[in-house]
Amino acid sequence: MTVLLTTSPGFGRHGRVPARLAELGWELIRCTDTARPDGGVSDHIARADYLVVGLVPVTEATLSQAGRLKAVLKHGVGVDNIDIPACTARGIPVANTPGANADAVAELALGLMFSMARAIPASHIGIVSGGWNRQVGSQIGGKILGILGLGNIGRALALKAKALGMTVIATDPYADRAFAEAHSIGIVDLPELLARSHYLSLHVFGGADNAALIDASALSKMKPGARLLNLARGEVTDIDAVYDALQSGQLGGAAFDAYTVEPPDRSHPIFTHPKAVFMPHSGADTVEAVENVGLMNIADIETLIAGGRPARVLNPEVFERTAP
């Protein structure tokens, strides 16, 4: 049985996952060619029984070569890189791992907030370059954190921010209002979120519906000097507008862990801006999160092999078809 892996960096390498894979004896093929859009999947997809995918696209073209493929497993949560309708049309179930990496991403969001509040990256560069430029920062306790998207990650971040003394408000059309009420999290509309937040953290899915959700108009409505964090998808922010807002001082800082193209085009001037902080889409890359995700992927594959239906399947209709 052959499992094809894309560039998900830790699958099968952390925690209990290596031992479990050794027990199962599955053949693993890693597609890690970052110079190719599909990571090299097309070279091996014809022999794959299961595809565990990170960020590379799973398209109709990919699926057309996948004669043996029985399922696509997302190594993570966001599935905007997977053509689910195309999978469904071919009877291929798709499953993801909701909640498995929520704490990891939420902790990185906090780290990026501290990085901006205390100018940690710039101070580090200054010290190792021979400087001694002490900067007066700000504390995050007492500030207002706005969360756009109160899903698993947003809720985890909200609890951690509350523990640090922040006021938390959120926008989400499907918000868990019982959770919000229990933890004194204000559910507001987007204009109020923009206007009140000292820090605005994005945790929504990508795709056309959320493209350029944070554009020049949205940025102009934010509190002057507020700081923006994008740990969602690159297309959610208009990077040109973010750069302009940093230049004008409308934004006091911006942090990114997701980009429209990855790796990004580093010729863009935002990559030299002193108030911007960047991470290589590694919010979910902790030993603990990678173990959680890997075990969930393995469990779903085992369920499918046994003829069952994974609880996390996103297109359950593929199991409800009857033979002609």
Separation of alpha carbons 50 and 294, rounded Å = 14
Alpha-carbon distance of 203 to 233, in angstroms, equals 8
Identified catalytic residue from 27, 60, 181, 262 = 262
Among the listed residues 155, 203, 227, 281, the single catalytic one is 281
Q: Is 222 exposed, middle or buried (0-12, 13-18, 19+ CB in 10 A)?
A: buried
Strands of 122-235, DSSP E: 144-148, 167-171, 186-187, 199-202, 226-230
- Where do we find the tokens 């297309």? 235
CA distance 163 to 210: 30
DSSP state of 279: -
* Pairwise CA distance, residues 30 & 307, whole Å: 26
Residues 6+ apart with CB under 8 A from 311: none
Q: Is 47 a known active-site residue?
A: no
- Of 198, 227, 233, 312, which residue is the catalytic one? 233
Is 262 assigned a catalytic role?
yes
Q: Residue 116: name the closest of 225, 197, 227 by CA.
A: 227
Contacts 24+ apart (CB under 8 A), 179-184: 179/150, 179/155, 180/150, 183/158, 183/159
Cα–Cα distance measured from residue 187 to residue 150, given in angstroms and rounded to the nearest whole number: 9
Which tokens belong to 39? Answer: 């990571």
Catalytic residue flag (residue 266): no
Q: Catalytic positions, please?
A: 233, 262, 281
